[in-house]
Amino acid sequence: MAGKPKLHYTKGRGKMESIRWLLAAAGVEFEEEFIETKEDLEKLRNDGVLMFQQVPMVEIDGMKMVQTRAILSYIAAKYNLYGKDLKERAWIDMYVEGTTDLMGMIMYLPFQPADTKEKNLALIIERATNRYFPVYEKALKAHGHDYLVGNKLSWADIHLLEAILMAEECKPDILSPFPLLQAFKGRISNIPTIKKFLQPGSQRKPPTDEKFIAVVRKIFNI
């Protein structure tokens, strides 16, 4: 029997958080080896295990996988969260790319200079409410199903819930114009594996704070 996947990253959300979400939703236990110093990162680089000298890196099925999108695609396919055919996979990809764009904006907000934060926060809220969330609301309304693609839980649903919760940290009532997304959030949050991941004490990481930003800047020289 293969061992548990091992995740190599800092002790925060960043690009690894969506990987944690996907594994947890699939009911897969995983281990984490945290990069806590610049030396930890250098050791991984010097050991030759980082294909492009960067993390996230996940050890899974005898591979040392890098590149977030490649890791997520592999996990989604392995655990039947990637649709039943090419068309469904294409829809999942499109939905995931949308939520990735929104989450990227939110992820980088804490690292931005104080004088631009307010403007960028307003942009995130505007994009979420006018560009991204209407797409998912419309999709749920059009097909009347509980899930975004194929009426079955997929990577697209898990990614969207993660994006919703991140957006709510920016603006708690951001879903108020979207009744179907509110219902969706409730449904997906109550799937047993996801519910477990949302409980205190899980491997889900907290929002980025100043202390963590200082650690990241030190490790990655930014």
CB 103 within 8 A of CB 167: no
Query: Cα-Cα-Cα-Cα dihedral of 186, 187, 192, 195, to 10°?
Result: -20
CB 69 within 8 A of CB 54: no
CB 159 within 8 A of CB 165: no
Measured between alpha carbons, how far is 16 from 156 in angstroms, rounded to an integer?
A: 16
- Position 39 scores a pLDDT of 96
Burial of 2: CB neighbours in 10 Å, binned 0-12, 13-18, 19+: exposed
Measured between alpha carbons, how far is 216 from 40 in angstroms, rounded to an integer?
A: 12
- Position 2 scores a pLDDT of 63
Measured between alpha carbons, how far is 97 from 124 in angstroms, rounded to an integer?
A: 16
CA–chain centroid gap for 62, Å, is 23
Domains and CATH numbers, the chain: 6-79+198-212 (3.40.30.10), 86-191 (1.20.1050.10)
- Position 68 scores a pLDDT of 97
Per-residue model confidence as pLDDT tens for the chain (222 residues): 468 999 999 999 999 999 999 999 999 999 999 999 999 999 999 999 999 999 999 999 999 999 999 999 999 999 999 999 999 999 999 999 999 999 999 999 999 998 899 999 999 999 999 999 999 999 999 999 999 999 999 999 999 999 999 999 999 999 999 999 999 999 999 999 999 999 999 999 999 999 999 999 999 988
**Nearest to 213, CA basis, from 107, 115, 105, 110:** 110
Measured between alpha carbons, how far is 88 from 28 in angstroms, rounded to an integer?
A: 23
CB 102 within 8 A of CB 170: no
Measured in residues, the chain has a length of 222
- Position 1 scores a pLDDT of 45
- Position 179 scores a pLDDT of 98
